[in-house]
Structures are given as structure tokens and as C-alpha cells.
Structure 1
Amino acid sequence: MTQQQQLTPHLLLVDDDTSLLRLLTIRLEGEGFTVTAVEDGQSALKKVRSDSIDVVLSDLRMPGLDGLSLFEEIMGLRQDLPVILMTAHGTIADAVEATQRGVFGFLTKPVDHDELRNMLKKALSHSQAAQPGDWAKNIITRSPEMLNVLDQAYRIAKREVSVLISGASGTGKELLANAIHKASDRHDKPFVAINCGALPENLLESELFGHAKGAFTGAVQANAGLFREADGGTLFLDEIGDMPMTLQVKLLRALQERQIRPVGSSKHVDIDVRIISATHKDLQKEMEEGTFREDLYYRLNVVNLKLPSLKARSEDIPLLARSLLQQSAERHQVDVSQFSDDAMQMLVKADWPGNVRQLVNVVEQCVALTQTPVVPLHLVEQALSSSRQSWPTLTEARDAFEQQYLHKLLKMTDGNVTRAAELAGRNRTDMHKLMKKHELEASDYRDRQSEES
């Protein structure tokens, strides 16, 4: 959005009542808007396609394409465009349906001018916050909480500070990190991401810091590592809470000295990267339990951005669902354009423990199975049911395996932690930390053995 557009926002006014159209046009132009007024939904769609519109104010009840149908069509063209509906015959049911579908606001006629002015101001500020300079174009939202996060992210993007993004799995932490990178002065340099919980400790160290040729078995050639790959740009450390303690020490030293030493090398290499990290864990609790270094925490957590769950931003669900549906339909080259009304209501009311990642999975299943252009309710019910038993992330799978492994190990050694540590190739301290992480008690295994004997 250009500076001129921000000074004179362009409003599209749609109403089949020509006298009201003239009156509102005069009032809104007096408020500083550039107003384009049309009398029907089809004309409005043409303007959305051809003009740079900042907000739409439309009547709900119109011949032909009514206000809600017009909104659905607009969302297929521009997910970022706020739509406010007006009606002389408004009911609570109308307002609930409109907001569930993602309509920005709902006003009853005769329109109170102060209420309209405040709603337009809020719609424009939200629209501008979500799309400053196109940096966050991949983040679809109208949620005040999410827009507040975006506003904070935009303000700190150009500052050379480390950012820690916290939030549950599937909330879009990497997407936000990438948006911060795009809004920063490093946007023309690489954005490099790695999941710290997805690799064993030795491989993670090599991936991050690089290694010299012959540093270990299989190192047939030198590897620069991700720090150097991200030179001048941004390195995103996802699931930083899963990083082993020994690597936390090395990472802290690299951040303090702005140098790294590749595995198997005696030479230090200067680095110039911005660090953005993310975690679904409570790092304060991890510090108390001794599994995360306090000095590293304060080095990484200069600014903390907390992403809300999808359930907490339910007004975004219709917008996200439509966008994902359109993308999936195009990718699979199938003719599916929308969800039925009851299917959309079910999406809005669902719990979404897997957040946006789960929504992506549900929409993909619906597109794969639907045989009609409109996704019916029963397919959404089916997809929601199967997604509750969805495939775990690599971190979740590793944690589940680790817990099962420890359980078998302690059972096999009758709760003897020293013996278990020896078999696992770990020391007693590491073993106790792992047992505490998975809430396992050695005495439980000793008691069980004595009872069986």
C-alpha cells in the first residue's frame, strides 16, 4: 500500500438504494475517502478486479448477488480486503452467520455515522497492519490478536535484535520468521531454517557450524554449514528448546563472538547472521529444570512474539479455509470452489488442537475426496475425525520413541539408573534429565519387579 493510498483510502460502496448511495458517498468523501459507488454486486466485483480498493461497504439484501454472496466472491479474489455489511432488516442470526464466514463488520440501517466511522477506521488499520509493504502477504488474518503480533513483528524487523517466537505446534512460527526476514534490511540475503529437534546431536552440530574434510567418518568433503549459508541474512532455529546442552554452549559462544569453528577445524570463521528462534516449549520451565541455559535464553529472547492458537483466532478460519481450498484445488486441478454453509460452520466451531497445520490437512482431505464444487458437511466431519489421529511431527515422534525406549531400558535394568545409562551410552546426569523430561521414576520399576517376584 502506497503512502498516497494510506492518506486517501479507496472505499467501494455497494447498495441498490440510489438515494442512500448518494448520501453515504457525500458523507464518506467528507471523511477523506475516495468513494466508488455501484448499485449491484456484479459491478462491485468488476471494481475489485480492476481498482485498488481498501475496504468494501455493501448492503446485505440486494437483487442478484446479495451481500454475503458478494463477500464470498471477493474472498476468492482478495483475502486481505475487509468487507462490512449493512442491512435494514438485521437479525442476530444474520450477524452471527456473517461474522462466522469472516465478514469484518455488520451494521444495521439507518447507519449510525460514528459507528460506521469507527468500524472503517478499524478495518483500514487492520488491513494496513497485515500487509505493510507486502512483507506478510502469506499470513492471512483479521484477528486483532494476530494483527497485534504482526504489528510488533514489523516494528522490530529492521532492528538487529534476536527474536524468539513462541506458540503451539502448527501455529505458523516459520511463516512469521520468514515474514520478519522479508521486512528486514536483510531481505535480499538468504533465509535459512533448521529444526533443532529433527537431527541427532552430532549431525545438528555439523549442519549448523559446518565441518572440515575428514572431520569424521563419512566427511569426504568439507561442509560450510548453515551459519555460513545464511551469511548476511537470517538463520531460523526452529524448536530451539530441543537443542542439546553441549550445542547450546557452542551456539552461545558463536552469538557472543560472532564467530564459528567448524567441526574438525582449528580455524574460526566470522559470521554475520540474524537469529530468529522458535519453540513450543516453556523455556522458563526448561531453565528451572536445567535443560536450557539461562544465558542463551536471554541472548535469544531479546524480543518475544507469542503466536495465538487457531482456536483463539477463529475469525480467521473462514479466510484460511477458503485460501487453502483455492490453493489445493489449483494444485490438484479439480473443480471445487467453496464449503457449504454448514461445513464452514463446523470448521469455525472445531477445536483445532493441531492449529493451522491441522486445518491444511483437513482441507487437503476434503479436496481429495469431494466430487462436487461445494464441499459438503459430511466430508469435513470425516476429515476432522481422521485428522485427530494425524501423523505426528518428527519432534513428537522422536519424543514418543525416547519415552518408550527409556521405559523398556528401565524395565530391563530393574530401575538401575547407572546400568540404564551405560546401556544407553549416556552418563547418569543425562539419564536423570531424560527421565525427568518424560516423568519416569526409577522406583516405579524397582517396585514392579519386587511385586512380580
Structure 2
Amino acid sequence: MTKASALIVDDEADIRELVEITLTRMGLKTQSAATLAEAHALLAERKFDFCITDMRLPDGNGLSLIQHIQREIPCMPVAMITAYGNAQAAVESLKAGAFDFVSKPVDLATLRKLVDSALKLRKNDTTDTADQELLGTHESIRNLRAMIERLARSQAPVHIAGESGTGKERVAQLIHKQGPRGQSPFMPVNCGAIPTELMESEFFGHVKGSFTGAVRDKQGLFQSAEGGTLFLDEVADLPLHMQVKLLRAVQERSVRPVGAETEVPVNVRIISATHKNLNDLVNQGAFRQDLYYRLNVIEVRTPPLRDRADDIPLLSEHILTRLARDNGLSAPPKLEAQAQRQLREYNFPGNVRELENILERAITMCDGKVISASDLQLRPSAPVQFSSAVANENAALGDHIEEIEKRAIREALEKARYNKTRAAELLGMSFRSLRYRIKKLGIE
């Protein structure tokens, strides 16, 4: 690969020289400009692989240069140099399309990491990855795939909004995988699943002896995700005291382990998600507005399944193929016409996750070749309520169905004197399907 080239735009000669020396030592060819006009002239006459610009320039604003590059050279990453502590400028630059930002005084280690991440984009080919892993032909899914591809070329914090079961974590994984951090850790954490008293230690780590039970030093989630992505699922469930600490970590790009005297710099990209309306929570005082603006620099919405019913046959085929493989079937069963019609008419309050659960149950109940409408066991459609109450109701329903399955399998095993082949015949399923369900449901 040819030597990468960088354009440095800053009216302060000492900063230009510092950045030039750093990038030259990294093996880059550099050109510098002191004004917007000079930068535009250089961009017009030659090609660059990377650009870094100051926010304030004698003849204009660095944001306009970022916007120009986004329009004319969208594949070239551009970073912004902002004044120390100017969080608003940093957020504005990311919203305008900046790859990342660095604050004055420029920390050379941070700058080198930023440039290294930006140049990794030259080596990534992400043309087909999203199409392979985010199934669907509906316009909303096509737009989502295009958005993922754009966001993968940035380091901006992303917030993914959408109902439960719409694939928010899958979207976060694709943004991570297709970007320059793709070979580094992807650390998902459910913010509602961590006990409040352990949150600070889990996120930031602790040093030995900092509290009862701290028998050794422990890395937190931020440090474990170093160089990669930290995915904060259900971020709306964070208590207010933890929101304050998270805001500082995001702004300062450093964390202080519990019991430590100094902060540790961290290099992670933050992607958050929730099925709740964060803006409403901000208005209610349940979520900090300043943290909301730092996490929600760019918002992505995952579409509900009922809005793209035409994708259900494709999704069903993909899910059934995977389930057949897991069940040891030679071929996936086919959905009969009435079953397909019922799936298209169902409103799917649990979205794609619920479709997976329905088909998993159906493949157990069917004869192994054809799934009938009765095998689906769909509930009557009801208006979808966008609240955690519905999520809890769906979870309770899933638990209830599992208990029914367990009871039916246990009764069949007892009648067959624990001969699994005979029990499978009584249940009208294959031996491999029964073995799979016994293992999945944890039946002794």
C-alpha cells in the first residue's frame, strides 16, 4: 500500500509543526494550510487520505471544511482540533461528519491513536457485510444498512432507538465490525442488569483493597473495551448518580478505578441503545440532559417488524434454516400458505425476537416437514403498547409457554418410560428435535 497522505489545517504554526512531525514519524506524507482558502486549494489539486483541522481559522470555521469534505470527498476521514473543555464544539464537529476530535493542548498519544484508527478505513472493505447480516428488502432496512455503512466510518457516539426485539445490538455490532475498530473488542453491557452498588466497579474497575471483597485489581468495562466499542444496552436504566460518572468518562476519555488516585486514559467508542424514549425521560428529570446530548450525537432507529411485513418470508426462511441445523434436521420445514398468511397479519409486539421464538416453538411442534398455522400457536393480534409493561408481558408469556412445553415433554417421557425415541413419537416430533428441546429447556 502506498504511503498515506494527510492535510493539516491550522493557523497556529507551532501546532501545525507539532502535528506534521508526529504524522511524519508515523510514516505519512503531510501538507499544511493556515487558512480555509489554502485548504480548499490543496484539496482541489491533490488527493489526501486524512485531514485534521482546527475549529477556528482566520477566514472561517473548520466545520465548513468538514461539511465540504463530507459532500465532495465522503470517504476521507477528517478530524477536528477543539479548544480544551469545549464539549459543544466537539459534538458539533461529530454531527457535521468528523471522524473524531482531539482537544488542545494536543496529546500526541491520543493523536497517534486517532490517526491510526482513521487510516485503518483504507484497508476495510465493507461493501457486502451489512447486506449479509441485516436481512430485508424494505426501504427502512435498506436505509438502515446505508446508515450503518456511514457510521462505521466515524467515531461519533451513536444512540440506537427502537422497540424490544428489533435488533439494536445487531446494528451496534455491524457499526463496530465494519469500522476501524472491528478487530478490537466489542463489549456489550445491559445497564439494567448490574446491581447499583457494583456499577462503578463494573464500569471503571477497582484496585485491590478499595472495598470489602476487592482482593485484587480489576479492569472495568471501559478498559476491557480498549481500542474497541462499549455498547450500553438499555442505557435509560442507569441511575442518576451513575449517569454523572458516565458523562465524565465520555467527556474526558478517561476513568478512575474505585480506590485509585489517578485517572486512566481510555480509547473506546460509545454506542448506546434503549427501547424507552430518552427525550421523554430527560423532560421528566429521570435522565441527564447533558449525557443525552453526548450519547445521542447521531440517532439510529430500528424499524418494528410490523412495518416491514414483506420481509417476514425472507426472515422466516433464514431462521428456519438455522433452527433446522441446530435440531439436526436434514432440511428446514416449509411454512404452509395459511401459516405464512397468519405471520404476515400478526402485529409482532416482540418483533424479530418474537418471530424467532414462534418459529422455534413451531419447529418442535410440527411433523418436521411442514409448519401449519396451528403449529404457530399465535395469540390474537392486539394493539401494540410501547412500554416496558408489554416487554414484561411478553417475557411472562414466553416463560408460561416454556413451562407448558416442559410439562408436555416430561409427561411423554414418563409414558414412554424415559425412552426418548418413543417419547418423540408420542409428541409427534423427531428424536433430534426432542433431544434439542430437552437440552434447551434444561429438563433433567
Q: TM-score range by the shorter chain?
A: 0.5 to 0.7
In 1: Cα distance, 2:265 partner to 2:389 partner: 32
Aligned residue for 1:232?
Answer: 227
* CA 275–226 in structure 1, closer or farther in 2 if over 3 Å, else same: same
SS for the counterpart of 1:137 is: helix
- Aligned-pair CA distance for 1:136: 4.9
In 2: Cα distance, 1:197 partner to 1:341 partner: 41
Aligned residue for 2:176?
Answer: 181
Does 2:287 match 1:292? yes
- 1:355-366 matched pairs, under 5 angstroms: 355-366=351-362
Which residue of 331, 337, 341 corresponds with 2:333? 337
Query: In 2, are the aligned partners of 1:198 and 1:394 still within 8 Å (CA)?
Result: no
- 1:94-113 matched pairs, under 5 angstroms: none
In 1: Cα distance, 2:131 partner to 2:156 partner: 19
- Aligned-pair CA distance for 1:133: 3.3
SS for the counterpart of 1:263 is: coil
Aligned residue for 1:256?
Answer: 251
In 2: Cα distance, 1:277 partner to 1:289 partner: 20
Query: In 1, are the aligned partners of 2:164 and 2:351 still within 8 Å (CA)?
Result: yes
Q: How big is each residue's C-alpha offset from its partner over 1:100-122, in whole Å with a ceiling of 9 and x where there is no partner?
A: xxxxxxxxxxxxxxxxxxxxxxx
Give identity over the alignment, percent. Answer: 42
- Aligned-pair CA distance for 1:267: 2.2
Cα-Cα RMSD: 2.7
In 2: Cα distance, 1:334 partner to 1:383 partner: 24
Query: In 1, are the aligned partners of 2:350 and 2:391 still within 8 Å (CA)?
Result: no
In 2: Cα distance, 1:195 partner to 1:395 partner: 19
- Aligned-pair CA distance for 1:315: 1.3
Aligned residue for 1:208?
Answer: 203
In 2: Cα distance, 1:386 partner to 1:190 partner: 41
In 1: Cα distance, 2:189 partner to 2:244 partner: 18
In 2: Cα distance, 1:224 partner to 1:313 partner: 42
- 1:56-75 matched pairs, under 5 angstroms: none
Does 2:133 match 1:155? no
In 1: Cα distance, 2:150 partner to 2:214 partner: 43
**How many residues are paired up?**
266
* CA 327–182 in structure 1, closer or farther in 2 if over 3 Å, else same: same
In 2: Cα distance, 1:196 partner to 1:299 partner: 17
SS for the counterpart of 2:226 is: coil
Q: How big is each residue's C-alpha offset from its partner over 1:51-72, in whole Å with a ceiling of 9 and x where there is no partner?
A: xxxxxxxxxxxxxxxxxxxxxx
Does 2:269 match 1:274? yes
- Aligned-pair CA distance for 1:237: 0.3
Query: In 1, are the aligned partners of 2:200 and 2:242 still within 8 Å (CA)?
Result: yes
SS for the counterpart of 1:237 is: strand
Task: Give unpaired runs (5+ residues) of structure 1.
Answer: 1-130, 402-453
Query: In 2, are the aligned partners of 1:261 and 1:269 still within 8 Å (CA)?
Result: yes
TM-score (norm 2): 0.56
Aligned residue for 1:57?
Answer: none
Task: Give unpaired runs (5+ residues) of structure 2.
Answer: 1-125, 397-444
Aligned residue for 1:326?
Answer: 321
Aligned residue for 1:241?
Answer: 236
Query: In 1, are the aligned partners of 2:130 and 2:145 still within 8 Å (CA)?
Result: no
In 1: Cα distance, 2:260 partner to 2:326 partner: 46
- Aligned-pair CA distance for 1:372: 3.3
SS for the counterpart of 2:132 is: coil
Aligned residue for 1:219?
Answer: 214
- Aligned-pair CA distance for 1:197: 1.0
- Aligned-pair CA distance for 1:288: 0.8
